[in-house]
Structure 1
Amino acid sequence: MNLKELQLIDNSDVRKIIRDNREEDPLKFALRYNRKKEFPVRAIAEQIKCYQKAKRKLPLLSNSDFIFESVSLEQASSEATAKFKAGIINGKILIDLTGGLGIDSIHFAGKFEKVFYCEENSLLYELFLRNFKTLGINNIEAFEEDGTEILKSYPDKYFNWIYVDPSRRDSNKRLVGLENCWPNVIANLDLYLQKSQNILIKASPALDYKKVKEQLPLLNRFVAVSVDGECKEILLFTTAQEGLCVTSIEAAVLDGEGSLTFHLSTSEIDVIEKKISKEVRQYFYEPDAAIIKTGLSPKVAAQNELWFINHSIDYITADEFIPAFPGRSFQVVLSSVYNKRKMKEYLSSNGIISANIARRDFPDSPEEIRSNLKLKDGGKDYLFFTKNSVNDLIFIHCKKPEI
């Protein structure tokens, strides 16, 4: 979408067309209306496609009169994670250096007296001006300029919080390391700490803790955030306050609405040994993605007296069912050493023609396993492939627990 298309779709007639067709296949819509020159068909089709993504990612805003932009929607925070972030920081003034679609700024506005939204992309800036006014928000000031330059124009320690979500795309390639993103938060960190005591950086879920700790020595919180079992983002909290040099490593597990269902933290100096089981027991557990990302599985296991299947992975087993386990829980039907021929015989004798497949520390990919065993995807059976405590390849057949 461009500025001209934004002007064309921001009228009541076109908005009605979008609302009436938002469940339609965007490509079919574009083909059906491609001769109607009086309508911006391409832009309407883009809005239909954006709506279909937004109704999952931004359910409340998708039902408002919001206009989206496809690339910024892809990188924008979900409502669940934006709500979580806004719930853990507050103050008088926050500056969002990389405003984008403005989802985070909109949520921060409910917790701060004033929010500064900065975006140098003219289309996103105009889109945000239009969108946030339709929501009745009146405590956001928007700037069509590079957020770093805006920051330089204010006195030291003017802001209670600086929030930055560096762009992780370059020519459609996904970037992970902070040094490769824009703005470069490592290069700008001294400026950030000059203007505020508290910095919050949103980063890729693939970010490595050890590397970022080297890059940000003043990092005091490393928080992995998951939504419905998928790790969505890493939050990096950096502070200028003295005495906060030990980093808290945290897992925040959210449901689809952004409510915190489980939280666990540890110090970077804490070390918990894994207890290894010689056999797979009656129940099988896979911790939530945020717990695995932060290396907190041993702490979860220790708190619940659970055992790991081997040293290198986060598959856990126990004799008892843990109802509130933070992750996936299963009842074990059978665990055995993996042999392709015998595995096929087992599946055939039990009438299993489809299954959910996962693997860790196993040579074949899920796709290769599925092809080798001629299994369809889905169903009530779960097959996990891994190694046991003596490094034998094994499979674990599970079902959802009967409770």
Structure 2
Amino acid sequence: MSTSDEVAEVHSSMVKPGERILDMTAGLGIDSLHFAMKGCNVTSIELDENAAEVLRNNLSSYKNVQVIHGDSVEWLKESRQHFDTIFIDPARRDSSGRHFLFSQCSPDISKSLPDMIAHCDRILVKASPMIDLKSAIRELGIDGCNVIVIGNSRECKEVVLDIRKDISDKPGIECITIGRKSYSRCNTDPDTCNNYRIPITGNILMQPFPAVMKGTGGNVDGYDKLHPFTHLYVADNLDVSFPGQQYIIKDVLPFNKENIRKFKNAYPKINVVARNFPLTAPELAKKLKVQEGGDTMVFGATVYDGSRVLVITGGPIS
């Protein structure tokens, strides 16, 4: 999948100036470009001849980039070069559809990983945001790796597996929301046992960013949660360190027939979210007979005593 400039900038932040980088799936070169701009010495390999020619033209002004047309897996087998970092973005789509297993992608790094490890100190593997992390690590046959989850305030963009020959510390998960402070934890740590509380009017409702939801399963240390499986948090005041969106709670209503009947008159146009709720967001909107949109939010959620509530908030304030 092609990379945006802002995501490629995150990739380049993972390496140091002067590193020798091999980009095994260069495409049109957005990642190679950002590595080159960082001051790395980049070898970019592209299988498609036309794309390789475009790549060569795109990067012609950078003397620290070598562009090669060919099969990067076969090239690496014949190479005696050693790289600080190999970056690879296996193609996840073909004529049969979208794939999530590495063995179904091209190239198949589940087969070529030993060769790659023999030629570098570190491998950065760009993977689908839908990937199952435990299954992916098991498929690659590695003991563990650092995981970087990249997203914005609306969606998780991708997962990067950071595979190193020697991980001196415990493998960790870093959740990067572009333009925000990242959130990190050790990926072998047990899930935190949070305190639980029912939100009330005037509280701050907190929703983790998509990258945090992907990387940690929605578990954020040190905050009061609505329910063990409701990944929403509540606080008395705005907390700038929380890795997610925050909303001022305007009202909290029990999810019952009376409030369902009255809801449309009070909030004819509202954005609907469902978290650990028996209805999906579209189903809840239909049940409440509301039109989605505007600056107000309603979160259908289960709280720690098992009851269901409708939490009405303003739009995000952070």
TM over 0.5: yes
The question of whether the paired residues in 2 share the 8 Å contact of 1:218 and 1:238 is answered with no
Secondary structure of 1:354 counterpart: coil
Query: More deviation in 246-255 or 191-200?
Result: 246-255
Question: How much does 1:399 deviate?
Answer: 1.1
Pairing partner for 2:21 from 72, 94, 100? 94
Counterpart in 2 of 1:385?
300
Counterpart in 2 of 1:78?
4
Counterpart in 2 of 1:202?
126
Q: Which has the higher contact order (CA 8 A, sep 6+)?
A: 2
Counterpart in 1 of 2:135?
211
Question: How much does 1:289 deviate?
Answer: 1.1
Whether 1:333 and 2:250 are equivalent positions in the alignment is yes
The amino acid of 1:117's aligned partner reads: S
Question: How much does 1:274 deviate?
Answer: 3.0
Deviation by residue 1:105-161 (Cα, 9 ceiling, x = unmatched): 11111234421111111221122223233xx322211111011111122216x1111
Distance in 2 separating the partners of 1:228 and 1:391: 29
Pairing partner for 1:151 from 54, 76, 79? 76
Whether 1:183 and 2:107 are equivalent positions in the alignment is yes
Structure number with the higher helix fraction is 1
Question: How much does 1:195 deviate?
Answer: 0.8
Question: How much does 1:341 deviate?
Answer: 4.7
Pairing partner for 1:249 from 165, 173, 178? 173
Question: How much does 1:301 deviate?
Answer: 4.0
Pairing partner for 2:262 from 331, 342, 345? 345
Whether 1:127 and 2:54 are equivalent positions in the alignment is yes
- Taking structure 1 as reference, are residues 85 and 342 closer, same or farther at Cα in structure 2, changes over 3 Å only? same
Deviation by residue 1:17-63 (Cα, 9 ceiling, x = unmatched): xxxxxxxxxxxxxxxxxxxxxxxxxxxxxxxxxxxxxxxxxxxxxxx
Counterpart in 1 of 2:97?
173
**Within-5 A mapping of 1:2-401:** 75-90=1-16, 91-133=18-60, 136-155=61-80, 158-171=82-95, 173-216=97-140, 217-241=142-166, 244=168, 246-255=170-179, 261-281=180-200, 282-295=203-216, 297-298=218-219, 300-302=220-222, 306-348=223-265, 350=266, 352-400=267-315
The amino acid of 1:399's aligned partner reads: G
The amino acid of 1:338's aligned partner reads: F
Deviation by residue 1:331-350 (Cα, 9 ceiling, x = unmatched): 111222212552231341x3
Distance in 1 separating the partners of 2:27 and 2:63: 18
The amino acid of 1:367's aligned partner reads: P
- Taking structure 1 as reference, are residues 132 and 295 closer, same or farther at Cα in structure 2, changes over 3 Å only? same
Distance in 2 separating the partners of 1:322 and 1:163: 36
Question: How much does 1:385 deviate?
Answer: 0.9
- Taking structure 1 as reference, are residues 321 and 363 closer, same or farther at Cα in structure 2, changes over 3 Å only? same
Distance in 1 separating the partners of 2:317 and 2:143: 47
Distance in 2 separating the partners of 1:92 and 1:396: 50
User: TM-score, length-normalised on structure 1?
Assistant: 0.73
Distance in 2 separating the partners of 1:268 and 1:361: 24
Distance in 1 separating the partners of 2:130 and 2:155: 12
Question: How much does 1:368 deviate?
Answer: 2.1
The question of whether the paired residues in 2 share the 8 Å contact of 1:223 and 1:252 is answered with yes
Aligned length: 314
Structure number with the higher strand fraction is 2
The question of whether the paired residues in 1 share the 8 Å contact of 2:197 and 2:234 is answered with no
The question of whether the paired residues in 2 share the 8 Å contact of 1:274 and 1:307 is answered with no
Unaligned residue ranges in structure 1 (runs of 5+) = 1-74, 256-260
Secondary structure of 2:20 counterpart: strand
Secondary structure of 2:231 counterpart: coil
Unaligned residue ranges in structure 2 (runs of 5+) = none
State the identity as a percent.
24
The amino acid of 2:85's aligned partner reads: W
Deviation by residue 1:196-224 (Cα, 9 ceiling, x = unmatched): 11111011111122212323424331111
Distance in 1 separating the partners of 2:62 and 2:317: 48
Distance in 2 separating the partners of 1:198 and 1:112: 18
The amino acid of 2:269's aligned partner reads: S
Deviation by residue 1:309-347 (Cα, 9 ceiling, x = unmatched): 111131111222213432111111122221255223134
The question of whether the paired residues in 2 share the 8 Å contact of 1:220 and 1:247 is answered with yes
- Taking structure 1 as reference, are residues 246 and 78 closer, same or farther at Cα in structure 2, changes over 3 Å only? same
- Taking structure 1 as reference, are residues 342 and 227 closer, same or farther at Cα in structure 2, changes over 3 Å only? closer
Deviation by residue 1:376-403 (Cα, 9 ceiling, x = unmatched): 2211210111211122222111114789
Distance in 2 separating the partners of 1:369 and 1:273: 30
